Amino acid sequence: MPIYLDHAATTPVRPEVLEAMLPLLGGTFGNPSSAHAFGRAAREALDDAHERLARAVGADAREIVFTSGGTEATNLAVKGAAWAGRPRGHRLVTTAVEHHATHHTLRYLEKFGFEVVEVGVDRYGRVDPDDVERALTDRTTLVSIILGNNEVGTLEPVLEIAERVRARRGVLLHVDAVQAAPWTEFSVDSLGADLVSLAAHKAEGPKGVGALWIRRGTHLLAQQHGGGQERHRRAGTENVAGAVGMARAFELRAAERAELLPRVRAQRDRLAAAVVASGLVELTGHPVDRLPHIASFVARGMEGGSVALALDLEGIAISTGSACASGSTEVSHVLTAMGYPNDEARGQLRISLGRTTTDAEVDAACRVVPDVLARVAEGSPIAEVAGAPGAS
C-alpha cells in the first residue's frame, strides 16, 4: 500500500469532518444571505462555524473571516493592511523565507510604490528579532512573518518580534500560521499579532477554505468586492460546507494536540535519524525549534526531483519543497536565503508526517528512503555524493 509522507502539502479529509460537511452539501444548501427558511438554516450553520473555529483558535467569532484558503487570507491581510496604512507610510517588512503567498503579494505591492524590506535569516532559516526591529522606521505600517516554515519547518521567534512591533505605534503584525497552526500549541491572541492566516486543508479539513483572524479594532481594506458578506470584509457567497468542515477540523485538532504532537515528533525524529545515517543528506532547518511533522534535507550531488520520483515508484510520496512551487525549475528561495548554493539546493527533499502516519509506515520509510538515496547517488551524473562509496 502506498505511504503518504507529504502532509505539509495537504492532508486527507478526516471522516468526522466529511460527516459534518455532508448536510451542507445536500439538504441545507441555501444561500446564507437569503431571508427564507433555506437561507436561515445556512446562516445558522455559518454562524456556528464562526463560533466553533473561533473557540478552537482562541478568538472571538466576529474576528474570523472565512476565505477561499490560506493564500487568499494572506493576500487579504497583506494588501488590506498595506492599503489601509498607505496614508501613514509605505514601508512593509518581511523575511527572506516567507511562503509565496506573502512573497509574491509583496512583490506585487512594490509596483504601486510600496517599499518592501526583506530581513535575512541564519543557516537554520531563523530571523533575528533585532534585525526586524532595525528594519522598522516611522514609515513602516506592516510586518509579515511566517510562524513555521512550510519547507524546512523552522519556527520563527514571533513573540519576540511581536514585542518589537508593538513598541512602534501604527505598525501591524501579520503572521502566516497556515502550516504551523495545526502543529503547535496554538492560540491567535497569544502570538501578539493583529492578523493571522489559517487554512483548513493543513489540518485534515477540506481544500478551498481558509480564514483570516483580524484582531478587533484593526483597520483593513477589503480586497474582494461585491456583497456585504463576512461583515463587509470579504464579498462573495460563503462556502458554508467548507467553513463547517474547517471549524470541525480545527476543533478536533485542538482536542488532540497533547497526544498528537509528541507522537508525530518521535516518528519524525526516528525517520530523520535513519535518513541522515545514510551519510547522503544534511538535515535542514533549525534542529530544535521546528514544526514536529516536517523533516527536510538536502541530498548533495542529487536532484531532489529524481529522488522523489524514485521514491514514488517505491510507493512513498514525499516532496522536493513547497507544493505551491511544484514544477518550478528554480531552486528554493528558502534554502538560498539560508545560504545553500544552487547545486546543493537542487537536492531539496521534504518528508512530512501526519496524524494518520503509522509506526509501520515509518519503519518502511526508514528502510526504503536510505536505499533509494544510495541508488540515486550511485547513478547520479551530477557529482559524487559525500558519504557515498568511493567519495572523499
Asked if residues 246 and 49 have their Cβ atoms less than 8 Å apart, the reply is yes
Residue 35 DSSP label:
-
Among 334, 352, 332, residue whose Cα is nearest residue 343? 332
Q: 221, 235, 324, 366: which one is catalytic?
A: 324
Amino acid at 353: L
User: What's phi and psi for 137, nearest 5 deg?
Assistant: -135, 180
Asked if residues 47 and 36 have their Cβ atoms less than 8 Å apart, the reply is no
Residue 12 DSSP label:
P
The x, y and z cell numbers of residue 41, run together, are: 438554516
Q: Is 324 a catalytic residue?
A: yes
Residue 6 DSSP label:
B
Question: What is the strand order of the sheet 140-146 is part of?
Answer: 64-67, 210-214, 195-199, 172-176, 140-146, 91-95, 115-119
- Could you write out the DSSP letters of every residue in 42-93? HHHHHHHHHHHHHHHHT--GGGEEEESSHHHHHHHHHHHHHHHTTTT--EEE
User: What distances in angstroms separate CA 306 from CA 246, 347, 348, one per listed residue?
Assistant: 35, 9, 10
> Do you know the residue count of the chain?
392
Distance CA 228, CA 372 (A): 54
Pair type for strands 64-67 and 91-95: unpaired
For residue 195, the SS3 value is: strand
Torsion over CA: 246, 251, 254, 257 (sign): negative
Q: Which residues are catalytic?
A: 324
